[in-house]
Chains A and B, each alone.
Chain A
């Protein structure tokens, strides 16, 4: 493990996006940041800026209006990036199943890496999901590098 991969595991900056949930999971996520669960002790930092973020935490079954915004946010995040779907309604549609105003689930819109089910989720589950996401960050970066190498070889 190189030193940058080690550092990457130590400092995940998260982007918190609410794409139309009932706000229940938002509050759980915020309680992660407050003294009781305090994820900032793992170096988690809540940026409000997609350009600085590593992990995107999405809550809610992306409403139709929000579809464009969320793809925009995703495209603005620099690689390597990981998307976490937090809450049952984000993973599968949950209690909004069959409603007219949303896309169904987050994976209809973006490639999702980590699913954290629960309506509403426990903060412990969010922390577990974050730990999974951290391993994924390094895997993704390695894959990107390999792709680049393969491309360079193909060109040469």
Chain B
């Protein structure tokens, strides 16, 4: 017995991330299903079943794919694979900065996919997607830098080793993360790039059949990635960690139903102002309490 534990002990830290990586599209899909169900209940409707996203996915695999050109298929697949890559990097506790940049790269690929199809809707969608990226990326990066300030390293392990949970040292940064959350979920009030019935799905408009299914699977992973990132703010205890994820999910859902879509310039101004003020106050708090590790 003793023999086996020492033999395979190197593998233990990899077991949970591997299982989670395999499960993450399923979790992400179920979350989208729960989201649709709860939205329907909030509007006094019955709503589709929770497994509806998987039905959609399977159906899309059985449809003809009308291909316009090659390049947008390449960029679409690149989008999904970079999202999977960033999820894997986060789960296997790689450098947080690299994780954020790879995640940003996935958005870039989606924008390129939008630009490479000759359709004005996908063009407008891609431009808006780019604006959204410009809005959330600086704030996300600043949050990552502040995590570096309080833990002393960009490694995710440093968060686990920290004496205090991140939520206590970076409470306002957490709020800033909640502000940019709807941008990443592409939900109201920031569902500007995929504006349903305004520009008809934005960058993904020209995708059909299994290629659309691949891009949608990327969304499943994205959903899981963002929530897992939020879970990093309290890694010391599992119940609170999962509670934070559930809270963020429900928060985005309620905000989605309570607000209307904003214009691009409104989004840019509001998110920058609110996010920056929150982050600056939090920075002052770190300096005053002396939790700054150089």
Q: Which residues of A contact B (CB under 8 A)?
A: 3-8, 10-11, 13, 34-35, 38, 40-43, 45-49, 51-52, 54, 76, 78-80, 141
Contacts and interface: CB of A to CB of B under 8 A. Distances in A.
B45 interface: yes
Interface in B185-216: 196-197, 200-201, 205-209, 212
B59 interface: yes
Nearest 8 interchain pairs by C-beta: A7-B58, A4-B62, A78-B64, A10-B55, A79-B64, A41-B46, A48-B200, A11-B55
Contact of B59 (A4, A48, A79): A4
A86 to B, nearest CB: 19
B206 A51 contact: yes
Contacts of B44: 35
A129 B58 CA distance: 23
B227 to A, nearest CB: 24
A76 B66 CA distance: 8
B43 interface: yes
A19 B197 CA distance: 18
Interface of B: 40, 43-49, 52, 54-59, 61-66, 196-197, 200-201, 205-209, 212
Q: Which of A13, A48, A141 has the most CB of B within 10 A?
A: A48
14 contacts: A5-B62, A7-B55, A7-B62, A11-B55, A13-B56, A35-B43, A38-B40, A46-B197, A48-B197, A49-B200, A49-B205, A51-B205, A78-B66, A79-B63
A8 B60 CA distance: 8
Nearest to A144: B64
Contacts, number: 82
B62 A48 contact: no
Contact of B209 (A6, A47, A78): A78
Given A10-B59, A11-B56, A51-B205, A40 B197 contact: no
B59 A47 contact: no
A49 B56 contact: no
A80 B63 contact: yes
Contacts of B208: 51-52, 78
Contacts of A5: 62
Nearest to A8: B59
B55 A78 contact: no
A38 to B, nearest CB: 5
A10 B52 CA distance: 8
Contacts of B56: 7, 11, 13, 43, 45
Contact of A40 (B48, B209, B212): B48
B250 to A, nearest CB: 21
Contacts of B58: 3-4, 6-8
Contacts of B200: 47-49
A41 B48 contact: yes
A143 B61 CA distance: 17
A78 B65 CA distance: 6
Given A3-B58, A4-B58, A10-B59, A48 B196 contact: yes
A4 B196 contact: no
A78 B62 CA distance: 10
Given A3-B58, A7-B55, A11-B52, A51 B66 contact: yes
B40 A40 contact: yes
B256 to A, nearest CB: 16
